[in-house]
Structure 1
Amino acid sequence: MFQKILIANRGEIALRVLRACKELGIQTVVVHSTADSDAMHVRLADESVCIGPPPSRESYLNIHQIVAACEITGADAVHPGYGFLSENAKFADILAAHNITFIGPSGDHIRIMGDKIEAKRTAKRLGIPVVPGSDGAITEEKEAKRVAAEIGYPVIIKASAGGGGRGMKVARTEADLEVALQTAKSEAGAAFGDDAVYIEKYLEKPRHIELQVFGDGSGHGVHFGERDCSLQRRHQKVWEEANSPALNAEERARIGGICAKAIADLGYSGAGTIEFLYENGEFYFIEMNTRLQVEHPVTEAITGIDLVHEQIRVASGGGLSIRQEDIKFNGHAIECRINAEDPRTFTPSPGTITHFHTPGGLGIRVDSGVYSGYRIPPYYDSLIGKLIVHGRNRVECMMRLRRALDEFVVDGIKTTLPLFRDLVGNPDIANGDYDIHWLEKYLAKED
């Protein structure tokens, strides 16, 4: 087991990893920018190192500063959390060159899954069902028209190196295709420095289902069930739940078995999430995230397994602590992402929190690094906390969530709490009857 882990992140995920380290008796080091000197994870860590000014590129994305912090403090491993450098293959390679363990997969696996085209090829080779589409990057309009005619309209053009909805355009007819192709390429080049795009069949009313997987790097893999992340705004997840209201036990076991075998065959090490669009009983691979997900707590709630403990164990060479048959699913869990944003316009709302009170009681968990008097800096993601609720079934979970949202108080800034109070009372949400387009349509009606 590691002696000292450096946490290369901030906010609630840094605090989440810090807590896991303390439970395992591992010393902690956190890095921070000058804007985060008063952050909760900085206050609670055994050691902290300031690595630069507020801009991420000069601090949390500064690989040389982070490696230097490891050497200064004697940290023998780095946990990257999510975001920032968590899926940076170069970072993983540099740490390995300095004999520092990256708590995550190899640089090679990060590279494979970070390229959407190569990830799709790999998924297909491993037996994972994929969306019909081009085998590689599309460079010319003529080629785009040929592929679109083969798979049928509507089609969606996606950035190979992208995510978060950038470089993503829908074409419903051949007449739409030229503009969609050029716009997607232009957006992809501007956002990611790579204008490569590919084409897939566009599904009209899919759900977004993802499988939590783990590999030990030695040919063994397991899955921890699925999460339903269909409630999204601009391709960003807002509300996640496990298990999905749309799947039955047979479907769960089938797709879970496919994913666990794929991870084993790939020789993958650590946590990963295989993401699908799901429509009419069929799963279609869209991407794999080679890191811990924001929404991992709902999986922990229904399995009772600490996924960060498992990450650390695997990275230290201890292998997986559980077999597939040991993983049982208990009840239902929902996570709401609480952002410092206007609940109607979603404009960021940095500022000082004057009063912060979290809900409590059976089945309630709040992951947050903020507190009364904390000033939210304007430089980073607006996520300030996650409310995770667990119940014996979905009905109990929803009732508990309603109560928890009523108790949650954040004063001094605007947050998305009012949005969730609306959603929890909506009949479609109560019935689990929604898809990836539902929330944006709902918000458009509200306007």
Structure 2
Amino acid sequence: MADDADDTVYYVISDLHIGGDEQLATVDFLDELVAFLERLETIEEDAELLINGDAFGLWEFTEVDGPAKFDVLTERYPDLFDQLRATGEAIPITLLPGNHDNELAAYDEYVDRLAEYNVDLVQSESLTRRVGDRTIHFEHGHQQDPNNRFEDLGNPYETPIGYHYNTQVTSRAGRLSDRGRFNWLKDVQAVTPTERVPRWLLSKYFYREMNPLLRYAIIPFLLLFNVSVVLAVLAGLDVAGIWTMPVATTDAVLGQLGLVGEAVHFLLVVNVAIAGVLLLAAVPVYFVLRDLGETVDRFGVFETDLTVDPEEPYAAAAREVFADRPETAVFCYGHTHRPGVTEVDGRLLVNSGTWLKRLHRRDVVAGVLPPVFYPSYQLCVVRISDVPDGVAVEYEEIEKPSPTANEITLTERLLTLGRKPTPELPDRSIVTDAGPEPAPEASN
């Protein structure tokens, strides 16, 4: 058993979210995942693969129930399950349930079914593995998230808030996604945190679904909106006779440009008129919304924030584990889809990321246009091993072409010029008896 082998090397992946209704059935990284499993099948070291929760998107299945979902998975992805069987003959494969596949802990039948493919399903919130003379704590992380926590692990009828969101929003997006001009709605499962969904929907509507003629007609107004607000104030000062110089100077300059000047002048007048109306309307709206907000606060309607800090709850959980079990060197979790390494009390808090597409919000360079959400893949594997200096944590990035070229329009690129994200995985870190220290070279 891996628990008894001090020199075992642990490969950790999480948050694959394989499966779901209709368009969610497409697994963009299937070839890369199978290739990774093939490599582990022939690896020349004492290794174990740990899938740290949300291997499957069982919440996203709404037309079948219980273990029947597993039949759908094996029928849809035969190559994946054949490779799991082959890899599992060479090294141990251990699977922890997450929130999206909590049903794995609810039905003992899943243990037997996964065992047929040489996958050891551990129906528990967490597990511990030994590395050198230290240990690693593994858990998916949803138990630290009040929106996805289960008070009764393995209860198939318990439905936290996250369950309703995924069955009502994510699953429906999978059924409707191919009805758009582009098949983008299914990517709602990649939007984190979930309060960004409205802005993401507005962004995709504007840049993908809106009639192109309408979009290009209003872009100049939206780009010049900030300028128009300033000009509207100056125009008001000019009409009142308080300060006429800016308007007079602008008119004089544009008058010298002929037809081009007249066109610019007309565009500015229209923008200023609209901006002026909006400014006048904004004053009473502001006071009404502020009063409404104060009323809502008095009643405490929104005292529970649906947004969960992506790190602090897990740092707090790690501190408890480190205090109760001082031999623990690493607290490894997933759930938030954000790969990262943080020092906590001289040990390491490690997030194993996701294999789903990630979306990075970028505001436009000017105006009040919707933000742009750049897609990327960070298919990562966390490797945890015993080294002479202590316990090493390394990230390996599985190469996959960026989807940006196909999913970001030229308009979006121009509006976010110089703001394209360049996500990187953490460097190699080592936990020594004196605490963690980064190694000089990066893991990717």
TM-score in terms of structure 1 length:
0.26
Higher strand share: 1
TM-score in terms of structure 2 length:
0.26
Q: Which has the larger radius of gyration?
A: 2
Higher helix share: 2
